[in-house]
Amino acid sequence: GKNNYQFYTAQLTSNAIQKMEIETDLRRAVSESLEEFIVFYQPQIELDSGKIAGAEALVRWQISPERRIPPDHFIPAAENTGLIIPLGKQILRQSCLDFLCWHQKGLGLSRISVNVSMIQLLRSPFLEDVLQVLAETKMPAHCLELEVTESALMKENEQVASVLKQLQDLGIQIAIDDFGTGYSSLGRLQNLPIDRLKIDRSFMPKNAQSISDQALITSVISLANNLNLEVIAEGVETEYQAELLTKNHCQLAQGYLYSPPIPSHEFVKWVEQYNQ
């Protein structure tokens, strides 16, 4: 009816305005100094040994002391505007610097995982950017893992496949993020340069009663293992889930069961306590 129509236009307009506002603000924050973007870290645990293998870098936008915007709310705008290119490079730089600082403190992690957007892979001279950051920070390539979403990889793009191959040849590890949500064909999986599959959190069975969910996740793990890929499960929140994963030979786990993403200085304390 008439009222509904008015409601929708008002809603649409306010969404469009919101989108414009966020883009304008992003442009400001990126051009100013990028200092409002902070990187949080979440540990990745080796299930058989219990050791901390690494951490995933997850960006937050601290727009003011009281206002922190989660990545889901601004990464899409950063991608639409191309601002993800300078922002992504800064996140990579900060992640390498923090990792090296942890290394100096004797934390002994194997690697840091950084999320990479499809836009970065397609539009920036991504390989050059990565090489430049590694050289500038003196970060060893084998300590860096890049997480690329499955949906990005499924766009059968030769350029992307070739960039990933060159990164891997440098010693950088490649993980497929959100695996299971993008309908990859097995043939394609085998032809891509991949070290690790990261199973999407929607595949994590809630409890022992969800039998069909269990079948799903255990078959994804054995599929990956048969392709000689390591598996990391994300969104691990309970002991039950960790045990199910361990029993089924999943190598790595990440989730609130261990720790939420936290700032670098807290992460150092967390690791030191965990190792005690």
| Residues at the contact surface with Ca ion, assessed by CB under 5 A | 115, 147, 177-178
220 vs 150: CA distance, rounded Å: 14
Q: Is 129 in the site for ligand C2E (CB under 6 A)?
A: no
Q: Is 220 in the site for ligand C2E (CB under 6 A)?
A: no
Rule CB under 6 A: is residue 117 a binding residue for ligand C2E?
yes
Nearest-approach distance from CB 178 to Ca ion, in angstroms: 4
Q: Quick one: which of 23, 116, 115 has its CA closest to 69?
A: 23
Q: Are 17 and 23 in contact (CB under 8 A)?
A: no
**Residue 251, interface with ligand C2E (CB under 6 A)?**
no
Q: Find which of Ca ion, ligand C2E, none residue 256 binds, CB within 5 to 8 Å per kind.
A: ligand C2E
Q: Which backbone phi and psi does 232 adopt, to 5 degrees?
A: -120, 135
In this structure, which amino acid lies at residue 49?
S
Q: Which residues, numbered 150-209, are part of the site for ligand C2E (CB under 6 A)? A: 177-178, 201
Residue showing the smallest CB distance to ligand C2E in the complex: 255
Strand 262-263 to 173-179 pairing:
unpaired
CB of 21 to ligand C2E, least distance (A): 20
Contacting ligand C2E (CB under 6 A), which of 235, 246, 249, 262?
235
Candidates 36, 98, 145, 234; binder of ligand C2E (CB under 6 A) is: 234
CB 42 to Ca ion: min, Å = 9
Using CB under 6 A as the binding criterion, the count of chain residues that bind ligand C2E stands at 22
Distance of CA 12 to the CA centre of its chain: 31
Query: Out of 29, 52, 53, 58, which residue is the one contacting ligand C2E (CB under 6 A)?
Result: 58
Q: Is 98 in the site for ligand C2E (CB under 6 A)?
A: no
30, 41, 42, 130: which one binds ligand C2E (CB under 6 A): 42
8 binds ligand C2E (CB under 6 A): no
The residues that touch ligand C2E, with contacts defined as CB under 6 A, are 42, 57-59, 70-72, 75, 88, 91, 115, 117, 177-178, 201, 234-237, 255-256, 261
